[in-house]
Amino acid sequence: MTLAHLFFQCGVLFLLAFSALAHEPADDGTLVLPEVPVTADRPVAASSDHIIPDKDVLLQPQGRPGMLLRLAPGILTVEHSGGAGKADQYFLRGFDADHGTDIAVFRDGMPVNMRSHAHGQGYADLNFIIPETIKEIQVSKGPYHVQYGDFNTGGAVDFVTRETVTEGVVQAAGGQFDTQRYLTMFSPTAGAVRTLVAAEGYLTNGPFDHPNRYNRFNGLVKATVNPTSRSELSLTGTYNQSRWNASGQIPHYAVASGLIDRFGSFDPTEGGRTNRATATLRYHYDTSAGGKVFADLYAQYYKLDLFSNFTYFLTDPVRGDGFEQSDRRMVYGSDVGYRQSGTVLGLEGTATVGVQTRVDDAHVRLGAQQQRARGGTTSDSGILEASYSPYLKLEFQPTLWMRVNGGSRADLFTFDVRNRCATCVQQPNGRTEASIVSTKGNVILGPWAGTEFFMNAGTGFHSNDARAVVSNPSVQSLPRATAYEVGVRTKQWGRVELLATLWAMDLTSELVFVGDQGTTQIRGASRRYGTELGARLQLLDWLAFRGDLTLTHAEFRGTGQAIPLAPEMTGQAGLTATLPNGLTSSLQMIHMGQRPADANRTAYAQPFTVFDWVNRYRLPVKAERGRWEAFLTVQNLFDANWRQAQFFYESQLRGRAAQSDIHFVPGTPRNIMGGLAWYF
């Protein structure tokens, strides 16, 4: 039994024991009044902030949790290696953020990004998330929020899980390419102890000539209790296990010449396996003087073995260029602080002071492999990377028409790398420290006639890989991002919400993906600017429309060279009908425009437009208990021939000359999937 299996099973046993303590309050004759729901728009600090509710989450194609981020204006995700098991490739605000370098991702405040990861800095794999357990997704763009530190340059995302569900569910789904998905989710108790249990199984072979054999299991247990009338304690445990084969990134020249079709592969042994187990504890106590003490703690066990072969026989004409990236780590940390609300000099406000800590204790290895048989070792490192981050956040309202919030944080990093291989080609070794102070400020004016105006400015950063930091003194450990933004949101027409944002950002050091090495390269300073436009329209009582358009420009400062794969235009739209007969139907579109694939703009990544159609129907079937729901999803409704991840680099097939060309992961063809869910 692995540590991860034991971790999850202990979590289940804990939940069962915890649930057994549940009891209803004693009947002491107190009159209990019914709850009165109050609804209002949640205040935001920037026009580009968004909160994605659970009803929108449920209207997304099943299979890849990363697709949920497509609901956020200006964010697109695509599959990276034709195998479904790796982290997605993220695009936002002129960033090809690779697997997460410039987007900070959290689950209930626990960081998902991995520092100094074997495959890429900031690697953020969302495949451990069960979408149905998500209550909402909080999305912010730019480095304007004090609570976010590392990787919060382009933006930040927090997946917030439910405490309970009012209805349990058992669900089974199937579709093309041998795809299957099974889900169960229920709340054993919902009184003094509020609990949630969820489990998901997913399998698919994909559309590829060589089956993916991708299988994934996810489990979640959560318990929430109020130890006193002023406090709350929540405990969550999750477990994820995935295995897959991958088609890899195939060269366009091989497809164009007919050597393989677009769903073929030159090395079908690519792929990987991963495990992740997490535990989080969240506690807060409300004082009688309007204060709040909070403590969030987390721990993660993580494991990844990734087998890749991007260039085939370019470097090694005999054994090939296959390489293995291996990562084993424990991650643990906390966010502890105090929040006080009150009046100072006649101004209502809130002050929050806290400190965040994080430690990554990792064993990271890179070496050669041929058909998953391990060869020589390129580097083998023990990494102990820690950060300590005190912060102060202030919020106050000088007038009825002005809100101001912001603050500052300091991040102190220690990088400790130990070489574990005396004969390796690469032997990073050493210890160093780095620190950075970030300041953020947001001013919100209004509302006037349902309209608010926003002004935002702030600095943020992403950390660089510890191995590069200790090996090269010229490498910036914590490159700084400086960003500015103005925007407007209006709802003055009742059924119409419009928003517009103008923004700009400078980054002192850029990370660029290097295709022939399967890693990132540290480059010079960059500048980005752009605009985001959005609309939410309630066309009829039963018909809603949403649409967003993002235009960006990204280049290296001083040279004018393009930042490879930086998106220049992205668009999203959705039309959702909610009918009284129990049918909800949503037609959704994503668009990525053409963008330069190299710095000199000699090659371009192909644009794409893809439509998905998602339907859920509450069946009019009478049952003694519960209800039935059917669902049907058609991904790539019009069967577009499109490409997901695209890179420009040189590769060489056996017995042929080396060529530089676009290498890509084919987009999924039309894919129909349906199923039944029983709610009880």
What SS3 state is found at 645? strand
What b/e string do you get for 45-82 counting C-beta neighbours within 10 Å, with b at 16 or more?
Answer: bbbbbbebebebbbbbbbbbbbbbbbbbbbbbbbbbbb
For residue 11, name the pLDDT band (cuts at 50, 70, 90).
very low
Among 13-27, 49-63, 168-182, 592-606, name the one with the lowest average pLDDT. Answer: 13-27
Among 47-61, 217-231, 503-517, name the one with the lowest average pLDDT. Answer: 503-517
pLDDT over threshold 50, residue 14: no
For residue 511, name the pLDDT band (cuts at 50, 70, 90).
confident
What SS3 state is found at 84? coil
pLDDT over threshold 80, residue 519: no
Residues 6+ positions from 400 with CB-CB distance below 8 Å: none
Measured CA to CA in angstroms, residue 370 lies from 260, 274, 326, 373, 650 at distances of: 21, 19, 15, 5, 20
Q: Which amino acid, residue 554?
A: A
- What architecture is domain 44-679? Beta Barrel (2.40)
C-alpha 261: how far from its chain's center?
31
Comparing 418 with 43, the larger pLDDT belongs to: 418
For residue 333, name the pLDDT band (cuts at 50, 70, 90).
very high
State the Cα–Cα distance between residues 147 and 648, nearest whole angstrom. Answer: 37
pLDDT tens sequence across 597-652:
999 999 999 999 999 999 999 998 766 778 999 999 999 999 999 999 999 999 99
For residue 40, name the pLDDT band (cuts at 50, 70, 90).
low
What's phi and psi for 209, nearest 5 deg? -60, -35
Q: Where are any strands of DSSP class E within 462-582?
A: 480-490, 496-507, 510-514, 519-523, 526-540, 543-556, 569-578
Q: How far apart are the first and last CA of the chain?
A: 34
| pLDDT more than 70, % of the chain | 92
Residues 6+ positions from 420 with CB-CB distance below 8 Å: 363, 380, 381, 382
Q: What is the DSSP string of 358-381?
A: EEEEEEEEEEEEETTEEEEEEEEE
Q: Looking at residue 31, what is its pLDDT?
A: 53
447 preceded by cis ω (within 30°)? Answer: yes
Average pLDDT over residues 224-228: 97
For residues 113 and 202, is the Cβ–Cβ distance under 8 A? no
pLDDT over threshold 80, residue 450: yes
Task: For tokens 């970030």, name the residue.
Answer: 438
| pLDDT more than 90, % of the chain | 86
Alpha helices in 210-273 (DSSP H): 252-256
pLDDT tens sequence across 91-135:
999 999 999 999 999 999 999 999 999 999 999 999 999 999 999
For residue 478, name the pLDDT band (cuts at 50, 70, 90).
very high
pLDDT tens sequence across 639-667:
999 999 999 999 999 999 999 999 999 99
Average pLDDT over residues 137-153: 97
Task: For tokens 């697997």, name the residue.
Answer: 99
pLDDT over threshold 60, residue 1: no
pTM over 0.85: yes
Q: Which of 52, 61, 48 is nearest to 143 (CA)?
A: 48
User: For residue 138, what is the enclosing H or E element?
Assistant: strand 134-141
For residues 252 and 238, is the Cβ–Cβ distance under 8 A? no
pLDDT over threshold 90, residue 20: no
- Residue-averaged pLDDT of the chain: 92
C-alpha 4: how far from its chain's center?
22
Among 62-66, 276-280, 408-412, 545-549, name the one with the lowest average pLDDT. Answer: 62-66
Task: For tokens 């669900």, name the residue.
Answer: 171
Query: Residues 86, 92, 95, 100: is their CA dihedral positive or negative?
Result: negative
For residue 5, name the pLDDT band (cuts at 50, 70, 90).
very low
pLDDT over threshold 60, residue 517: no
For residue 24, name the pLDDT band (cuts at 50, 70, 90).
very low
pLDDT over threshold 80, residue 249: yes
State the Cα–Cα distance between residues 318 and 652, nearest whole angstrom. Answer: 12
Measured CA to CA in angstroms, residue 497 lies from 77, 494, 552 at distances of: 25, 8, 23
pLDDT tens sequence across 368-417:
999 999 999 999 999 999 999 999 999 999 999 999 999 999 999 999 99
State the Cα–Cα distance between residues 339 and 392, nearest whole angstrom. Answer: 10
Q: Which of 407, 481, 408, 486 is nearest to 452 (CA)?
A: 486
pLDDT over threshold 50, residue 296: yes
State the Cα–Cα distance between residues 274 and 206, nearest whole angstrom. Answer: 19
pLDDT over threshold 80, residue 290: yes
For residues 106 and 138, is the Cβ–Cβ distance under 8 A? no
What b/e string do you get for 531-557 counting C-beta neighbours within 10 Å, with b at 16 or more?
Answer: ebbbbbbeeeeeebebbbbbbbebbbe
Joined tokens for residue 267: 């090395």
Residues 6+ positions from 285 with CB-CB distance below 8 Å: 228, 230, 231, 292, 293, 294
- Pairing label, strands 155-161, 103-107: parallel
What's phi and psi for 60, nearest 5 deg? -120, 150
Q: What is the DSSP string of 418-450?
A: EE--TT-S----EEEEEEEEEEEEEEEEEEETT
pLDDT over threshold 80, residue 571: yes
Q: Looking at residue 18, what is its pLDDT?
A: 41
